[in-house]
Structure 1
Amino acid sequence: FVDGHTHMDAQVFWDPLGTCSCWHGVTSVVMGNCGFTLAPCAKPDRHLVIRNLERAEDIAAKAMEAGIDWTWTTFAEFLDTIESLPKGINYAGYLGHSALRTYVMGERAFDKPADENDLAAMEKELRSGLTAGAMGLTTSRSPSHETPDRRPVASRLATWNEVRRLVGVMGEMNAGIFEIAGERFGDDQEGLRDYHVRLRDLAVDTGRPVTWGLFSRRDAPELWRQYIGLLEETAAAGGRMFAQVHSRALTVVLSFKTSLPFDRLPVWKELRALPLEEQKRRLRDPEMKRRLIEAAGKRDERQPIGAEPRAAAYEWIFLMDAPQGPYRSVAEIARERGVGPVEAMIDLALEKDLERFFLQPIANENQDHALELIKHPRTVVTFSDSGAHVSQIMDASLQTHLLSYWVRTKQALTLEQAVRMLSFDNATHWGFSDRGLVREGFAADLVVFDPDTVAPEMPEVVNDLPAGARRLVQRARGISATVVNGETVLRDGKHTGALPGRLLRGPLARRA
């Protein structure tokens, strides 16, 4: 399987297997999405790209500092470094706009527009990166992407003219995909229409494919249909554009071992700073429990971004008592027990020694909409975000969820349709012309699974990142072997010791 939307740029330095993606049948990933890459960047300036990544993508700065041996400056040198690393799966990489901006502008990238000299320098490095094998350029204009000190990440300071100039370089070179984490407009239909016209014209004028993530949202349940309209409008105008979609709800995984919606509130903040055993002891104290329940009713003034927990709406927080739903809401369980929802969450967690998980969907809540998106001819199923949001979400299992839920349980897709979506369709969209099919002359990237049992397992919390940083992991069942470039990397989920993965360079490097 091919996953076109990951953030494994840092993880590849300490995890050659690409967990958790490899456990769910993924053999090739594309990293560097949303404008976030580790290059171009000189070692003395690495704090700038770490600043871009840390809060926006929930990748611990201490893990990056401890786990990465910084040996490059340019993007071409970064690709050479990735090529030299041991790898269990295949990696391809975009060049990220935020990194490009900070490489050229330094601290000015976080609060100033680029001048003509800056733009010329960015264009030069982008040309070099594309020639060396970058898959294209990525950027973010999303308010979800902030630095730890709550400033916009560097790419959000770019004018649209800067974006057009850079994508224009790809047009001139006839190479590369442009991926964007997009702007948001709320109820501003004029602003949304202007944005859609800008995206359409960018695709048509440059001739380069444009792609972005697309979800339905319960706070704007029909907005996704307008983006589907944009896909059709762009195709009619002669441009190439495709949306990346998920196989289920995009969901924050809550627990006392990771994060909760109350963590920054008074009383809770003090509790959550304590070791887990001490938290358990205090949660069992009736007076402390009363104070926590009372405090949870107050509003957290800090606006959550990305996959951070949202304010608690208990009809939309669910007890995760199995790897896949349907799940019961905390509100329903609280009513059944005759207690308030916060008390129910505390009690449920204590009953399992704080090992319980709760799920808070933040997009794709409507599964009928999710299925429409999956089936649309201008979408691809790939949005794991693997390597990012590592203690917040667990979406590296989207492949096994598609096979177990939509194929086996719901029978909404045939097995053949689902396998094609995860393999050939994604390989084709990202230009991997020798992958995605079982055919003579193609790379032998294979997944051997049992259609009757393949499924995700329950997630776990581990502290296996560099410097002891934590993350969520989720294995799969029903996959007997994963083969990469003709060698078996995993057998029944266990590493064989083989590391046959390769760097998959972009189109210009392949043509050379």
Structure 2
Amino acid sequence: MFDLKLVNGKVADGSGRSSYLADVGISGDRITAVGNLAAAPACETVDAAGKIVAPGFVDMHTHSDLSVLYDPHANSKIYDGVTTEVVGNCGIGVAPVSEANRQLLIDYLGTRMIGNLPVKIDLKWSTVAEYLDYVDAHPPAVNVAALLAQGAVRIAAMGFDSNTPTLAQLAEMQGLVRAGMSEGAVGLSTGLIYMPGEFSDTAELTAVARQIKSWNGVYITHIRNESDGVFAALDEALTIGRGAGVPVHISHLKLGGKSVWGRSGELLEKIDDANAAGIDTTFDLYPYTAGMTGLAACMPSWAFAGGVGQLLLRLQDKEMRLRIRACIETGIPGWQNMAKAAGSWDRIVITTVMNEENKHMEGKSVQEIADLQGKDPYTTIFDLLIAEKGRVLIVTHMMAEEDVAAIIRHPLAMIGTDGMSVSTEGVMSFGRPHPRAFGTHARVLEKYVREDKILTLEEAVRKMSAMPAERLGLKQRGLIKDGCFADVTIFDPETVRGKATFAEPKQYSVGFDTVIVNGKVILKDGMHRDAYNGRVLKR
């Protein structure tokens, strides 16, 4: 007898092959049969007539390291068909933590999406193992796979020192990477437009990335520049992969800024050439033409030397303000100039602040706020960063739809939200998040499969399940197959839709009927069952 039987559905099994009519039998946490199971008894039966039965989606790029602990429902992801979140991306993570630099890390996390939460951040661990054990002891509704964040490693070893590491500091970082991989991390991430990753040169990153090879880890990188310098930044990532002898995965591949719009073919050709040359390279993206980050990311790297506290002190100095403004207006070679990539201050929108007196700014562009305050945009952002202690999130409109479509079509593309799990209620309902946090996977199925027909349904499902699971070495995940773990999402291919918009982002996707995590039904008939069956996934 099966514990759970899914009947009358059309199975898109994650392999990319054509979908087919079949029943799926689940016993415990595993799929134990796929086929005609009409005569087999089951404790519970789900009728999937007219629906697609697919593997639960593996969100390749998230920042839910803390949000799944503060709100284990993971609502925005569950309602979008996600059963596994990959955390620790962009070099921004919550472990390892050194006692000497613990507060530096906590303050820094507050300036990034991962820690920009309306709660007091308290890291109750020091090592990757302790963090993963904490997640296991407080299981969320979704599975969690963790990358080792190079930024956290560097902060633990040398704080926000902008210098090249000494031999002793480099050895310490290498040791922390080996420890993190042995404790369960599935790869190493970097975020080279963020501190302290921006302080790290190619040689340092190669030496650190080399440590993950023994664990078959993947080097996953938010490259140093996604705008004018995107091609050179991609070259650097490939150089690191080749030098370290490890596979490369590019996070949220994009062409940010009008100066590089329309050049997606060149970018993708470079990746194809790398694979042909023996550098195993893949990438992910989110299906939107706007990104999201912290307002502090608009500041040049030198302004962050010493940490967030030093940044805020510099912003109070008139001469420093003039220097920062000059850097933004004229640029720094190799620096990801977020304001320039957006093109104008009216294309940068404030989405989240912490102080109640500034909440009226949420949803308004920097230019709009400046006009209302009678200030120039630079004074506006400097004053806001000081008032909010750096804890401000923004949406930046800077990509072209034709490039997004070309990138998603490529056979090596996977899907990631680049968002944390949020909600329409409770502690994670704050601010005005990017709609990708609510509707990424539904949007892929709605726009790129059903409407634009850029992808087949089976291709889309594979990009959202088996491909990321295989890339990260998550064994027996991402497929509807006898013996695999029973992570399943059931959706209506004709009605699945992402309701979230930039104007009204806090809306759950529709069309996902049932979501199952490790054999347990979490979402049924559009209702969350308040079940928390997620696990920590390791290689």
Q: TM-score, normalised to structure 2's length?
A: 0.67
Q: Distance in 2 between matches of 1:362 and 1:240?
A: 31
Residues 1:241 and 2:281 aligned together: yes
Which residue is 2:95 aligned to? 39
How many matched pairs? 404
Structure 1 residues 122, 20: CA separation in 2 closer, same or farther (over 3 Å shift)? same
Contact 1:43 1:71 in 2 (8 A): no
Structure 1 residues 416, 218: CA separation in 2 closer, same or farther (over 3 Å shift)? same
Which residue is 1:229 aligned to? 269
The one of 86, 93, 97 equivalent to 1:30 is 86
1:242-391 to 2 correspondence within 5 Å?
Answer: 242-250=282-290, 273=357, 295=372, 299-301=376-378, 362-366=397-401, 368-387=402-421, 391=432
Q: Distance in 2 between matches of 1:424 and 1:180?
A: 20
The one of 205, 208, 219 equivalent to 2:246 is 208
1:399-478 to 2 correspondence within 5 Å?
Answer: 399-458=441-500, 473-478=506-511
| Residue segments in structure 2 that go unaligned for 5+ positions in a row | 1-56, 294-343, 363-367, 386-393, 423-429
The one of 113, 117, 134 equivalent to 2:185 is 134
Q: Distance in 2 between matches of 1:461 and 1:44?
A: 42
Which residue is 1:319 aligned to? none
Shift in Å, 1:434: 0.5
Contact 1:95 1:137 in 2 (8 A): yes
Structure 1 residues 71, 427: CA separation in 2 closer, same or farther (over 3 Å shift)? same
The Cα offsets for residues 384-414 of structure 1, whole Å up to 9 and x where unpaired, read as 3225996441212110011112222223322
Which residue is 2:164 aligned to? 113
Contact 1:130 1:136 in 2 (8 A): yes
**RMSD of the alignment, in Å?**
3.6
State the one-letter code of the partner of 1:480: D
Which residue is 2:4 aligned to? none
Contact 2:221 2:237 in 1 (8 A): no
Structure 1 residues 170, 457: CA separation in 2 closer, same or farther (over 3 Å shift)? same
Structure 1 residues 374, 262: CA separation in 2 closer, same or farther (over 3 Å shift)? closer
Q: Distance in 1 between matches of 2:69 and 2:190?
A: 23
Which residue is 2:218 aligned to? 177
Which residue is 2:10 aligned to? none
Q: Distance in 2 between matches of 1:421 and 1:88?
A: 22
Structure 1 residues 292, 453: CA separation in 2 closer, same or farther (over 3 Å shift)? closer
Structure 1 residues 141, 304: CA separation in 2 closer, same or farther (over 3 Å shift)? farther
State the one-letter code of the partner of 2:255: S
Which residue is 1:496 aligned to? 529
Q: Distance in 2 between matches of 1:245 and 1:29?
A: 15
Shift in Å, 1:102: 1.4
Structure 1 residues 124, 360: CA separation in 2 closer, same or farther (over 3 Å shift)? closer
Structure 1 residues 127, 218: CA separation in 2 closer, same or farther (over 3 Å shift)? closer
State the one-letter code of the partner of 1:26: V
Q: Distance in 2 between matches of 1:88 and 1:230?
A: 39
SS in 1 for 2:514: strand
The Cα offsets for residues 47-80 of structure 1, whole Å up to 9 and x where unpaired, read as 2222332223373265242xx4x33212222222
Which residue is 1:480 aligned to? 513
The Cα offsets for residues 463-492 of structure 1, whole Å up to 9 and x where unpaired, read as xxxxxxxxx633121111100011001123
Which residue is 2:297 aligned to? none
Q: Distance in 1 between matches of 2:217 and 2:370?
A: 52
Shift in Å, 1:304: 7.4
Q: Distance in 2 between matches of 1:304 and 1:408?
A: 41
State the one-letter code of the partner of 2:472: W
Q: Distance in 2 between matches of 1:293 and 1:206?
A: 46
The Cα offsets for residues 90-115 of structure 1, whole Å up to 9 and x where unpaired, read as 00001111111111123xx3433311
Shift in Å, 1:17: 2.4
Q: Distance in 1 between matches of 2:397 and 2:369?
A: 24
The Cα offsets for residues 329-353 of structure 1, whole Å up to 9 and x where unpaired, read as xxxxxxxxxxxxxxxxxxxxxxxxx
| Residue segments in structure 1 that go unaligned for 5+ positions in a row | 146-152, 254-259, 280-290, 309-358, 463-471, 508-512
Moved more, 83-92 or 492-501: 492-501
Structure 1 residues 29, 458: CA separation in 2 closer, same or farther (over 3 Å shift)? closer
SS in 2 for 1:301: helix
State the one-letter code of the partner of 2:107: R
Q: Distance in 2 between matches of 1:75 and 1:34?
A: 16
SS in 2 for 1:475: coil
Shift in Å, 1:420: 1.9
Which residue is 2:425 aligned to? none
Q: Distance in 2 between matches of 1:483 and 1:174?
A: 30
Shift in Å, 1:229: 2.6
Contact 1:130 1:175 in 2 (8 A): no
State the one-letter code of the partner of 1:221: W
Identical-residue share of aligned pairs (%): 25
SS in 1 for 2:282: strand
Q: Distance in 1 between matches of 2:117 and 2:87?
A: 18
Structure 1 residues 427, 409: CA separation in 2 closer, same or farther (over 3 Å shift)? same
Q: Distance in 1 between matches of 2:117 and 2:492?
A: 39
Contact 1:200 1:230 in 2 (8 A): no
Contact 1:17 1:87 in 2 (8 A): yes
Q: Distance in 2 between matches of 1:183 and 1:116?
A: 24
Structure 1 residues 185, 126: CA separation in 2 closer, same or farther (over 3 Å shift)? closer
SS in 1 for 2:71: coil
Q: Distance in 1 between matches of 2:445 and 2:76?
A: 17
The Cα offsets for residues 393-445 of structure 1, whole Å up to 9 and x where unpaired, read as 12121100111122222233222222222112222222223011111100111
